Structure 1
Amino acid sequence: MTNATDLTWLWILLAVLVVAGLLYVLLAPRGRGAKKPPTLDEHSPDQAEAPEAGGEVETLPESAAAPSTETPAPTAGRLTRLRDRLARSGSPLGSALLAVLSRDSLTEDDWDEIEEILLLADVGAGPTGEIVDGLRTRVRVEGVRDPAAVRAMLRSALLEIIDPELDRSLATQRVTREDGVTVPAVTLVVGVNGTGKTTTVGKLARVLVADGSSVVLGAADTFRAAAADQLETWGARVGVPTVRSEREGGDPASVAFDAVRRGREDGTDVVLVDTAGRLQNKAGLMDELGKIRRVITKEAPLAEVLLVLDATTGQNGMTQARVFGEVAGVTGIVLTKLDGTAKGGIVVAVQRELGVPVKLVGLGEGPDDLAPFDPAEFVDALLGDPA
Structure 2
Amino acid sequence: MDTKVSNRRATLTGGRLSWGLAGGLSLAAIGFDVSGDRLFDPAFSLTLPLWVGAALSAIVGVWGVPVLQQLKTGQVIRQEGPQAHFKKAGTPTMGGILFVPAAAIVAGAWVFLSGEMSSVDRISVVGVSALTLAYAFIGWLDDWQVLRRKSNKGISPRTKLALQIGFAILFCAWAKITPGLAESETVQFPGGWALPLGALFWLLAGFVLVAESNATNLTDGLDGLMGGTGAIAFLGLAAIVAPTFPGLALFCAIASGACLGFLAHNRNPARVFMGDTGSLALGGALAAVGVLANVLFGLLVLSGLFFAETLSVIAQVGYYKATKDPDGIGKRLFKMAPLHHHFELSGWSELQVVATFYGVTAILALIALVIR
TM-score (ref. length: structure 2): 0.25
Larger Rg: 1
Structure having the higher strand fraction is: 1
TM-score (ref. length: structure 1): 0.24
Structure having the higher helix fraction is: 2
